[in-house]
Chain A
Amino acid sequence: MLQFFPLAFKNIFRNRKRSVTLGVNYAVVTLILVLLFAFSAGATQNIETNLMRSSAGHITISGQYAKGGRIYPGIPDTKEIVDIARNTLGSVEAVPRYVLMSTLYFKGLSKRLTFVGFDTATDNGFEDQLNFLGGSWQAFLNDPNGIIVPEDTATYYGLTTGDQTTISTRSRLGAFNTGIMKVDGIYTSNNYFAKGFVLAHYDFLQKLDLAGSDSSSQLFLYLTDTSRLNYKRDLLMEAYRSAGFEVSKPTSDTEALEIVTSASTKYQVDKANRDRVMLRIATIGEVLGIVRTVLAAVNAVGSVIAAIMLFIIAVSILINLRMTINERLREIGTMRAIGFETTGVTALFVSENVILSLIFIGIGIIAALLVTGIFAYLVVLPSTGNLGLFLDRGHLVLIPTVAGVLGVAAVITLFTALFSYFPARRGGRITPVEALNRVF
């Protein structure tokens, strides 16, 4: 078949208008599919990176504990849990966070907000993600009652740096507790997951929640080697079980997401009526499960659109090839008369279409890479709303993978070969006499 390629290449643009029309279809389908997969890969990576920089670890642990017939939120024995993780998994960076849903009061206005408490001595995850519109990181470090508020929150309250606000929370035990917090910074962030938090000192929130000094609400574990994460999580679960903890892993995507998002106090009666600590452990893969489901749905919709376009291409191939064969009957008759077999003629016509598709698939890929580059470097989109989920510093994250690009090219090429074969074979079966009779 390869010997027909030079001849087929010369024949491609004999009817330029028809070939370009069909080729544009190839290019558009390629463009759509490559961009779609690039978007999917980019979104997954962007969400994973941003989530890990703000609200999750490779392994995230949240928990509750039962005491005296009631269930309270939070992890009471953080140090022990960290020690077990280090003994089990080796080199682990453990970052505890204290998260509270509380009401902030200022000049007659109030709003329920998510407060994230972190230890500035050991947890520098937020420092490089904040763009300060007022105040500074240093002012926050120097002030144990300080908070850094997002721009939206500052605008809602009319807050400026130096303002003192009142926070009132229903503590984990049930009693209300209050505190005075000073605004040491107003920020925006390019990280979708970091930009809604009021950032506070870990100790402050811990005391406000009337919790013990070893308490936390979430614990993020960052591993140096992230391979076989599920296996490592299972090892960890076993170690916690042996130490007397009650351990579970998420059974659904929603449950996994809850482990990194839940902060609101829920009062529950302990039906087991047995004092114990219950840990829920999720891997980053599970946390992203719901994202992957959504992206799979986006991919599916895109693939349906591409399938419709491929169907149009299939019809175009059939019509084009029939017309081409009718136009080139003299050529077919001559080729058959000088000794070309049926397979030779079929191979020539299939080769022509495959080469046409390869040329325009290439153009489609180049166009997709150009669009990716334009979005990555030139187009800045507003990171407000849910669009921010897919943006990195305002740029849409598109990551075309080699596997994705080659896969798209292979599928379209095979598809072309398949749908060219049947009309080409019909052309190849025409006898020399029949072909020449139809012409003369």
Chain B
Amino acid sequence: MNNIRTKSSRRLILLVALLAAVGTGAVSAQQKNDPKALQIVKTFEDKLNLEGVDITNTFNLVQKKPGEADRVLQIKVYRRDSANVFTLIFQYPSSEKGKGYYRNGNDLYLYLPTTREFVFRNRKDDVGSTDVRTDSFGRLDLESQFFVSYGGQEPVAKWTCDVIKLDARELDVSFPIQRWFVRTTDGLPVKVENFSASGTLLRTIYYIEYQPVASGKFLFSKLLALDNLQPGQKTFITNEAISTDPIPDYVFSKAFLEQQSR
């Protein structure tokens, strides 16, 4: 009887150990980057991260909400990906004029001209309460924030796309689960789905058009962001007056934001 009990106990321990090993393996498989997916991510990051050039451009944002008048914002963007910094300054409407963001690495500050104070924000803050995140304007470094896996191919409009799934390493990113649809023809993302930690689709971003700004470097010139929790709410962005002229260093400072608001 005792023998039987010992044998069953051993079996149970073995089974538990086996399950634990399988479980651990599954977790580590989940938390590993898929080399193919990572290569696709690196390729589009290389194209979209504009190291070596300074970019100045103006974004026009039109936010549409059902039953409400369209909201229009104009934002001037100064961007230097080599230093992982950008400065955004609101130019229109007059109620928002002078407001701006300054990002340096992971630190993002919102400048409020009315109170003349800088407010620390999550690095993926909404821009002017639209469906667009400030991180849409800066340098991408997805590998440092997410585990990357390959999700096969799916069509988006007329293009065949590789689907890349991102799972957050830490839950300090706005959308801890993301699906990026990357065009097989040129390796540029055309659609991004953003999910909450529990897996609900919150927003979908369509990169409608890109514009080359340097050799092998691209900047989106038309973007559509849809709010999936509020059907009908969307933000359309056009990118104008793109310039690659060098930007003075002082533009990437809090002082510049204060100066521009005067």
Which A residues have a C-beta under 8 Å from some C-beta of B?
A: 70, 105, 108, 110, 166, 168, 170-171, 173-179, 210, 267-269
Q: Among A168, A173, A175, which residue has its beta carbon within 8 angstroms of that of B229? A: A168
Assess whether B120 is in contact with A269, with CB atoms less than 8 Å apart: yes
Q: A105-B230, A178-B229 are in contact. List 19 more A-B contacts (CB 8 A).
A: A110-B229, A166-B200, A170-B122, A173-B171, A174-B124, A174-B171, A174-B174, A175-B171, A175-B176, A175-B197, A176-B197, A176-B202, A177-B197, A178-B196, A178-B198, A178-B200, A210-B171, A210-B197, A267-B122
Which B residues have a C-beta under 8 Å from some C-beta of A?
A: 66, 107, 120-122, 124, 168, 170-176, 196-198, 200, 202, 229-232
Assess whether B202 is in contact with A175, with CB atoms less than 8 Å apart: no
- Beyond A174-B171, A176-B197, whether A166 also contacts B176 by CB under 8 A is no
Assess whether A179 is in contact with B122, with CB atoms less than 8 Å apart: no
Residues of B within 8 A of A110 (CB): 229-230
Assess whether B173 is in contact with A174, with CB atoms less than 8 Å apart: yes
Residues of A within 8 A of B173 (CB): 174-175
B114: shortest Cβ distance to chain A, in Å?
A: 18
Using CB atoms, name the residue of chain A closest to B173.
A175
Residues of A within 8 A of B196 (CB): 168, 175-178
Assess whether B107 is in contact with A175, with CB atoms less than 8 Å apart: no
Residues of A within 8 A of B172 (CB): 70, 173-175
Using CB atoms, name the residue of chain B closest to A174.
B172
Assess whether B230 is in contact with A174, with CB atoms less than 8 Å apart: no
B144: shortest Cβ distance to chain A, in Å?
A: 15
Residues of B within 8 A of A178 (CB): 196-198, 200, 202, 229
Q: Among A171, A268, A269, which residue has its beta carbon within 8 angstroms of that of B197? A: A171
Residues of B within 8 A of A176 (CB): 174-176, 196-197, 202
Within the assembled complex, what's the spacing in Å between the Cα atoms of A105 and B168? 25
Assess whether B232 is in contact with A173, with CB atoms less than 8 Å apart: no
Residues of B within 8 A of A179 (CB): 198
Assess whether B171 is in contact with A168, with CB atoms less than 8 Å apart: no
Residues of B within 8 A of A174 (CB): 122, 124, 171-174
**3 smallest A-B Cβ distances: which pairs?**
A178-B200, A178-B196, A174-B172
Residues of A within 8 A of B122 (CB): 170, 174, 267
- Beyond A173-B172, A175-B176, A176-B174, whether A267 also contacts B198 by CB under 8 A is no
Residues of A within 8 A of B200 (CB): 166, 168, 178
Residue of A173, A174, A175, A177 contacting most chain B CB atoms (<10 Å): A175
Using CB atoms, name the residue of chain B closest to A173.
B171
Using CB atoms, name the residue of chain A closest to B66.
A108
Residues of B within 8 A of A268 (CB): 120
Residues of A within 8 A of B174 (CB): 170, 174-176
Using CB atoms, name the residue of chain A closest to B121.
A267
A171: shortest Cβ distance to chain B, in Å?
A: 7
Residues of B within 8 A of A210 (CB): 171, 197
Residues of B within 8 A of A168 (CB): 196, 200, 202, 229
Residues of A within 8 A of B170 (CB): 173
A sample of 10 inter-chain contacts (CB < 8 A) reads: A105-B229, A108-B232, A168-B229, A174-B122, A174-B124, A175-B172, A175-B175, A175-B197, A176-B175, A177-B198
B160: shortest Cβ distance to chain A, in Å?
A: 30
- Beyond A177-B196, A267-B120, whether A171 also contacts B229 by CB under 8 A is no
Residue of A70, A168, A176, A177 contacting most chain B CB atoms (<10 Å): A176
A104: shortest Cβ distance to chain B, in Å?
A: 10
Within the assembled complex, what's the spacing in Å between the Cα atoms of A170 and B123? 13
Residue of A171, A178, A269 contacting most chain B CB atoms (<10 Å): A178
Residues of B within 8 A of A166 (CB): 200, 229
Residues of A within 8 A of B198 (CB): 177-179
